[in-house]
Amino acid sequence: FSGPIPLNIGSFRYLFYLDLSTNQLTGDIPTSFTQLHSLYSLDLSDNHLSGLIPPDLGNLKLSKLNLSNNDLTSKVPGALDGPAFKRSFLHNPGLCASDPSLIQTLRSCSPPGDKAQTLPPAVLIAILVVVGILTLLSIGFPAALLRAYIRQRRDFIDYASWKLISFQMLGFTEEDIRR
């Protein structure tokens, strides 16, 4: 066979196994492949397919995938970027992977020496100061409330333990108290 893969391939909803390898197929992998929810094996190797791998292809429950020896480009979709498919993308010089150690022969999508974005030191210091203040407040405020509660409770207990006796019961008069 030669030419593009028919776009209506997605209408074969109960297709379990599809092997179109070793043909002269060209063009993109149709996005309609993502409608083949029963598909567990897909082999499109040894063709002249180009373009992107449909991102939703990784949502299928594929146990076997072979897209090797084509002219596919860009990044391998995240769901397919792992050890289960490490030999599925051989000899596609335009493909890259987020972790090329998991997929043989693919280059990294990040340029060499590309480091993750880091925050400027002033921003990091500001964040640390804010976190420190919030930590102190989250510890200090409850501690102050607890101290006030204990002090109030202690004062209440001290007053409650006093015994009040009227001076008249002791036989004193107002005149005795004034002296």
Q: In this predicted model, what pLDDT tens digit does every residue of 50-106 receive, in sequence order?
A: 999 999 998 999 999 999 999 999 889 888 887 888 889 999 989 988 877 767 677
Count the neighbouring beta carbons within 10 Å of the beta carbon of residue 70.
Answer: 26
Among the CATH numbers 3.10.20.90, 3.30.1330.20, 3.80.10.10, 3.40.50.460, which is that of 2-108?
A: 3.80.10.10
Element (H, E) at 98: none
Provide the pairing of β-strand 71-75 with 24-27.
Answer: unpaired
Domain ranges within the chain, ordered by starting residue? 2-108, 119-179
Phi/psi at 178 (5° precision)? -70, -25
Q: In this predicted model, what pLDDT tens digit does every residue of 138-174 receive, in sequence order?
A: 888 888 888 888 877 766 655 556 676 676 667 777 7
3-state DSSP call for residue 97?
strand
State the DSSP string of 98-123: SSTTTSTTPEESSPTTPPPP---HHH
Write down the pLDDT at residue 118: 66
